[in-house]
Each structure stands twice: as C-alpha cells, then as structure tokens.
Structure 1
Amino acid sequence: MSQTNHANHARQAQKILDSIKKNNATGDVIIDAGNSLSLKANKGELEEYKVSSSQIFGVRVIKDNKVGTAYSEASDDDALELMVQQAIQNAGFSQAEPLEMINAQTDQLSSDERILNPEDNTSTDEKIAFLFELESSVLAGKHVQSVPYNGVNSTSSSRSIYTSSGLTAFTQQRFSNAYAYALAKQGDNNTMQGHGTLGRKFSELDLNSVTKKVLNDCESMLLGKPIASKNYDVIFDEEMIVNVFNVFSMALNGRSAKDGVNPWREKVAKQVANNQLTILDNPLNKQGFGYQTFDAEGFANQTTHIIKNGELKTLLHNSVTAKHFNVANTFNASRGPKSTLGVSGVQMEIKPGTGQGELYEGEYLLITDLTGMHSGANAISGDFSFGASGYLCKDGERLQAVRGITVAGNFYQMLNNIKAIGNIQKWNWTKSDLVVDIRFADLSVSGK
C-alpha cells in the first residue's frame, strides 16, 4: 500500500470515528485492502489472466451495551456515513452484550514489513513462464493425462484498525503461490494428485518440489488398493493432521464454549490428551505465514499454551469470552469487515515429542488424503468417518499404496490413544501450522 492510500484510510477512519462519537457511541473500524494477480494455464496456453483489487470498510459500534456492524465497499464520505448509521440502527435491534467493549488502549501497532512485505520485482512475464514450465513438467509424467487445476497467484494485502479510544494498528503483507493437480490414468485406474509451493517472494517458489511430489504421488496411487479391514495405528501426514485438527477446532474455542456447544467447555485444567501432547497457538513465529502481531480487536498477540503435557491449559479467547469466563484474554479475536467479533486460532504448533524411535516401528498406516471431512465428522461428539488414501508402512518403509478405504474413530479418544510423537517439526505446504508426526493407536479402517 502506498503512503497516500494509508493516509487516505487514516483520514476516512477518523471521519467514521467522529460520526460514531457524535451518535454517543464507541466503535472501531477495520479496513482491508488488497491487489492480486491470478494465472491459470491449459496445455501451454494462458487460460486465465486476472488482476483484481478490493477495498472494504467494516465498522462496529457499541451504544447502550448493544453492538451493531455494517460494511461498505464504497469509500466516498456519503457511503461511509451511511455505513455508520446502518451500524447504529443494527445495534438498536440487537440484544445487549455488556461484555463487548472497544479496546481502550491507545497503542500504535504495526507489523515488521521486512518480514511480511519484502520487495519483489518479479515481472508478470516471468510468472507466466513459471506457470507454463510447471504445467509442462507435470504433464511430462508417465501416466499424466492432464493438469486440470493449476495456477500462480500473487497477492498484496493490508489491514488497518482504528478505534474510538485512539488505537491504531496496521499490517501489510505479500505472498505468491503456485500449485498443480494432475489427472493420471493407467488401465482402469485413475487418480488426481496435487501439491503447491508458497513464498513471500516469487523467487522462493519451488517448482521442482511440486513436480516431484505430484508425479510420485500419481505413480504410487495408480497402484493403490484397499487393505484388510481391521484396526491400524495411523499417522496423518503434515497436510492431513492440520485438516483433522481444524475440523475439531471448536473444542479449543472460547466463543463456542460461551455459546454452550464446546465439548471441552468444562475441561480447562483437566487432562484431555496423552501427556506427550503439547499444542501452542504461536502467531509470533516469523517463519510461518500465520505470523501476525495483533488480533482483530487491536490487542498485541502472544504465544499461548493450549494443551501442555496433555492438560487443557486454556481455551482461545477474545476480550468478550475472557470476561465471560473470568479468565485471561489470549488475544485471539477474529473479525472481518463483514463479520461480527469471533475467536480463531492463528498458527498452531505441535511441540516435538521423544518417541521418534517408536514412531515407525512395526505396521502402521500413513494417511495422505482424506475426503468428506466435514460431512463425516461430529465436532461435538468427536466421532468421524472419512474416506482415505495413503500408504501401508512397516518399520518406516512404504509397503504399498492404499486407496478406497474409510478411517473412523473418535477425535477426543484419539488424542488419549497416542502411541508416539516424533521430534522433527515440519510445516504444511501453506505454512499455516507447524506440526510433527503423531502415531495414533487402533483406529478402525474399513477396506476389503
């Protein structure tokens, strides 16, 4: 974002806040803005070249203990004033929420642009050439029929928060990613496999790693077949373990606890998992793409131990849920310009364990893909049943590719049935979560 745009946002936000104060209310403003380039290829031809930009203002007002929100994609003074009046009107129709207040601090917060927004002068022609090379290198695979899903994206975005108390917070970031999904066929068997790469600078994208993984997975999964139905020890790879935890993230959420639907709402300070398991929310890890320095209320972020040695230390909270339970705020407020105040984890980190030697002993199933994850899971009871594929392994070696199976169990029981936790941390490809391999004992697998 240019200094001119930043100054314009500050001026517009001040007008919004002045209008809120004239209505005897308090409030805050979120301004999200961004620019993006999206490219897609089809057999060496450019199928999509899309340049887009967006800017959206979101206001939250609190009047007489009632909260109202509204948003505007227009930035002229009349539109912004109308947005304020709409939020005031919406507040009048809402139920009282005496615990929801505007952050009273007057800090000036910003993120480190050297990390989040490094200079990148890669030309569009270079990005197109990269995309064509990615598609052609995957298409060159032995059994690959097509690469129907592929793309290169470059995005630059910013968020500004202004409050009626005088707090301001600003962050700006950029990143690029590339991905390819290949359709492969051999005889009557076919498979779709994909992978991606991500970087703050375009030069950090790794074309060869994507190509290698996609082609290796295609070759393996074409030979995949069901295995015997029985209970197996299971390791979810770094992509799938993140997806599994996300499906059941309600259990860590103070908002769902306040609403009475969190199965762990009365489990704080109690054992909920094997004592080997320690999980953090660590937004301050600068290596991850979830790195951020303040939450949606403008509070400075911190690292939070959620589960430590199997004990639930805290749920994740914003200021409202923390007051409701009379506990410390973990500064996990989430809100977009169009949404109300919520709670969200930022950057999960699973700490290394000491069971590397036991991790790959004997027979186990490595799961690399899951389907039906939301329709096949009950976040309250913890029960799940997912379509799955991966590899049957023994003593760290892959014996055969596996597909056409169903893995089922209970998430909350699974956390207590951990056999081993590895000591090597690794990011998922989008670098949103830092995880380790965890061996879960005796999950039910239906195959042949």
Structure 2
Amino acid sequence: MNIIAFRDQLFAEGKKLGFTDLELYYEKQTGFGCQIFKGEIDDYVSATTLGLSVRGLYDGKMGYSYTEKIDKDSINFLLENLKDNAMLIEDDPEELFSGNANYEELDFYSPTLAEVSIADKISFLKEVEKRIYEYDPRVTQTNYAAIQDQLVEKALYNNKGLSLEDRNNFLYVAFSVVVQENDEIKADMYFKLTKDLGSLDPSEIAKEAVEKSLRHLNGKSYPNKTYPIILQGYAAANLLATFSPSFSAKSVQDNQSRLKGKLDSIIASEAVTLIDNPFLENGIRSGTFDSEGVPTKKLTVVEKGKLTSYFHNLKTAKKDGVNSTGHGNKSAYKDSIGVSPSNFYVVPSEESFEELTSTLDEGIIITSLSGLHSGANQISGDFSLAANGLYVKDGNIVGPTNQMTIAGNFYELLLDIEKVGNDLTFSPMDYYGYIGSPSLKIKGLAVTVD
C-alpha cells in the first residue's frame, strides 16, 4: 500500500470515528556503511528502515501512535491507539499546523551521490587506507576506517490540507590513524562530509588524516596556568554542540537554561554571530519544513554577541506568544515533537587559522576534547575536559603538549572569544554532525598538563 493511499484511507476512517484533526508523519531512511581493517572488510551494513506516526485530536484531546507497517490493518490499529492515548494524556493538546504558508522550493538530494555504487564506495575506502599506510612509516594501523551514506525521505500530511515532502542524502568518511615513534603511540580522528564522492582526493585525505596524528608525537609538559587558547574547529564545534540545548525555548521554559531572560542581551563577544541555516547545501539537516510542517528559515540566534532568538516549535512559541521558528523536531518518526536546530554554527570570519595562531605570544591550541558527556554541565555551563593540543610561543607552534585538562564555563567563554577563524568545521557524526564552528581564539582558560 503506498503512502498516499494509506493517508487518504486513514483520514477518511478517522473522520468517521470523530477525529477532528489528523496528521501523518512518514520517514524512510536508507543507508550503507562499511569499515575496513588493513584492506579487508571488517563490518558491512546496508539497510532500509521506515515508519510513520500519527497525531489526532479526539474529544478535544491529542493522541499519538506509530507503526512500521503501511497496510490496511495498521489504519484501525493506529486510530484505536490514538483514541486510547488521547484519553490518558492530560497536557494541553498540541495544534496541527494548517500549512497556510510559503515554502522554499529547494531540493537537497544529490543524484550524483545516489549513482555511486557500493563497490565504488568500498574501493574508495580501501584506496584511502592504502595511501594512509604509504604516507609515513610511523603509521601502524587505522583504528577506524569507515564510509557511511544515508538517504532520508520525509513526508508530512494533515487533514487541514498540509502536504509536504522532502529528502536529503549525504556521505561521510572517517579515519582514526595510529602512529608510533619509539615507545610513544598517538592517534587522532579525521572526518569529512560530502554530497559528491568524486570531489574527495584519497591522497589529500590520507595526508591530512596522518598529519593530524603525527602532530601529537613527542609531547611535552608545560606549566599549569591560564593560557590564551585557540579552540580548533572540531573542538569548538563539539563544545557548542554540548551546550546547544541552552538555546532551545523548551529548555528556557523548563528552567534548564542560563539563557532564560537573556533575549536582546549581550551573551557573547561582538566577534560571535550564531546562525541556524536549514538551507545549507551540504547540511545533514537541511530541509524546507520542520517536523510540524512549519516552513524553515535562516535564523540569526546571536548577532554580534546579542541573543536575538531562541529555537521554537509550535508549542513553545504559543507559550511565549511568538511565532514558531521552524524548529519542531522528531529525532525519529516514533518520537514526540521536541525542539532542535537544523544546521547551527558560528559564522566564520576571513581570518585564517594561521593568522589566529600568529597572534599568540604564548598559548595553547586545543585540537580535540573528550569527556563532553560527563565533564560538562549543560545548565551551569561549567566544564572540565580532557584535551589534546599544541603549545604556541611567539606566534609559532612549538610542538604537542601531553594530555591536558581544560576547565572553564561555556557562558563566560562566549564573552571571552577574541577572534573567529574562517575554517568552519562541523562536528563529527558521533557527536551531532549538524553543529559547526571555525577555530575560536579565547582570552584564557585554566590548563592543567598531565
């Protein structure tokens, strides 16, 4: 049974049963993933998952239900579940979006990427790994060598006339390269997202992946003190990702954000502008509507340090007496509506990473962070995190540090950002993938070198 026939029958049967509002949300994900180790396939996954959820207003109350089966029997199952759930839910009913709005006519689907065969993807992965081993004799192995692609198709319909469809596909490669010199062993992670596999050069990827690991060899300890810091792109993106829920209106309304009451206030330095861009060409969450059917739009959240907006869905917007910003989000088709950004990032400047580094008389470049889930308090903003980095003297990189611990507060850090680089980088998929930042020069953070 196709989704359109299913929708029409669901709405017709729902009307007979007394449902006044009905919404159908459909999602299909198709993905391929492969890992290799020394030229041999270590893991392989090719899968398609699909499902749908239904919201319905019955006797003035909203019910919810979902299924993975798109057939006639599921229609009765869904509607009966909706009725039962509606009677149990005591919250104020959510409103369905009428769809009386203008939507951008954009397609984030890449036919070029879709045409790449699985054999070609595996061949590309093996070629990169081969060149990683050839690049430097200190490479001992790849802890992780993977390629993953995903196609996400979404549709949203309701009996108010809303009818929306969207799709997005992307691919990423990731490598963790292990290098050894004498008894010292180091590793770092390389991550690249694209919609065009042909645009990636295996030699360039191998070079960058290996160099990222080599730069950590021969680390030294330096005095424990507060240093000027450059948070390199990945590290800055991952830190922003950890604290991004603070910008959600739901967190604010639930007293789970220090940004409550801060609208139109300065929360960051003038160097910082944060935007959410649902139309980003390579964004993994790019789309023309959110999970409630509200049109998406480019949103400036922080402009030159001033907090100008929270992220809103329909429910949080109604509570605050404003319009939804198009950030109603389902993490999966069976989940309830939450609040989440699309592609959220610090707007880059024109200043290169090298130019940022040259401004440090003495300081530390933080190349990566770990312990973000356990070492950061999303509400207070306090963090104490393990970090890898490089020591800088007189504007020049001297060499790597031993593993460090950096401590500070996210909200104070925002105010202490002196410069923003031009090297916009998005967080690896293991964190969020849709949150990014260029390198950031910070006035100072407490650093303890192990």
TM-score normalised to the size of structure 1? 0.91
Residue identity opposite 2:295 in structure 1: A
Residue identity opposite 1:26 in structure 2: D
Residue identity opposite 1:262 in structure 2: S
Alpha-carbon distance, 1:367 to partner? 1.0
> How many residues are aligned here?
439
Task: For residues 362-414 of structure 1, give each alpha carbon's deviation from its aligned partner in whole angstroms, at most 9, with x where no partner exists.
Answer: 22211111110010011111100000002112354311112311000011111
Q: 1:126 aligns with which of 120, 128, 131?
A: 120
* Unpaired stretches in structure 2, ≥5 consecutive residues: none
Q: 2:280 aligns with which of 278, 281, 285?
A: 285
1:370-409 aligned within 5 A: 370-409=369-408
Q: Is 2:207 the partner of 1:212? A: yes
Alpha-carbon separation, structure 2, partners of 1:88 and 1:127: 47
Match in the other structure for 2:185 = 190
Alpha-carbon separation, structure 1, partners of 2:404 and 2:253: 37
Alpha-carbon distance, 1:242 to partner? 1.2
Match in the other structure for 2:338 = 342
Residue identity opposite 1:73 in structure 2: E
Q: Note if contact 2:317-2:324 (Cα within 8 Å) is conserved in structure 1.
A: yes
Q: Note if contact 2:241-2:435 (Cα within 8 Å) is conserved in structure 1.
A: no
Alpha-carbon separation, structure 2, partners of 1:46 and 1:420: 44
Partner SS, residue 405 of structure 2: strand
Alpha-carbon separation, structure 2, partners of 1:123 and 1:194: 26
Task: For residues 126-145 of structure 1, give each alpha carbon's deviation from its aligned partner in whole angstroms, at most 9, with x where no partner exists.
Answer: 22211211222223332222
* Unpaired stretches in structure 1, ≥5 consecutive residues: none
Residue identity opposite 1:72 in structure 2: T
Q: Note if contact 2:170-2:282 (Cα within 8 Å) is conserved in structure 1.
A: no
Q: Is 2:198 the partner of 1:199? A: no
Alpha-carbon distance, 1:293 to partner? 1.3
Task: For residues 220-240 of structure 1, give each alpha carbon's deviation from its aligned partner in whole angstroms, at most 9, with x where no partner exists.
Answer: 212223322100111211111
1:256-267 aligned within 5 A: 256-267=251-262
CA distance 1:415–1:109, shift in 2 (3 Å):
closer
Alpha-carbon distance, 1:106 to partner? 5.0
Q: Note if contact 2:245-2:340 (Cα within 8 Å) is conserved in structure 1.
A: no
Q: Note if contact 1:118-1:174 (Cα within 8 Å) is conserved in structure 2.
A: no
Task: For residues 144-183 of structure 1, give each alpha carbon's deviation from its aligned partner in whole angstroms, at most 9, with x where no partner exists.
Answer: 2221311222322211111121111111222222222122
Q: Is 2:98 the partner of 1:104? A: yes
Task: For residues 19-48 of structure 1, give each alpha carbon's deviation from its aligned partner in whole angstroms, at most 9, with x where no partner exists.
Answer: 333332413221111222222212222223
Residue identity opposite 1:398 in structure 2: I
Task: For residues 228-271 of structure 1, give each alpha carbon's deviation from its aligned partner in whole angstroms, at most 9, with x where no partner exists.
Answer: 21001112111111111111112200111222222212111212
Alpha-carbon separation, structure 2, partners of 1:351 and 1:302: 16
Match in the other structure for 1:301 = 296
Alpha-carbon separation, structure 2, partners of 1:228 and 1:310: 32
Q: How high is the sequence identity, in percent, across the aligned residues?
A: 24
Q: Note if contact 1:177-1:205 (Cα within 8 Å) is conserved in structure 2.
A: no
Q: Is 2:437 the partner of 1:435? A: yes
Residue identity opposite 1:427 in structure 2: T
CA distance 1:308–1:344, shift in 2 (3 Å):
same
Residue identity opposite 1:441 in structure 2: K
Partner SS, residue 221 of structure 1: coil
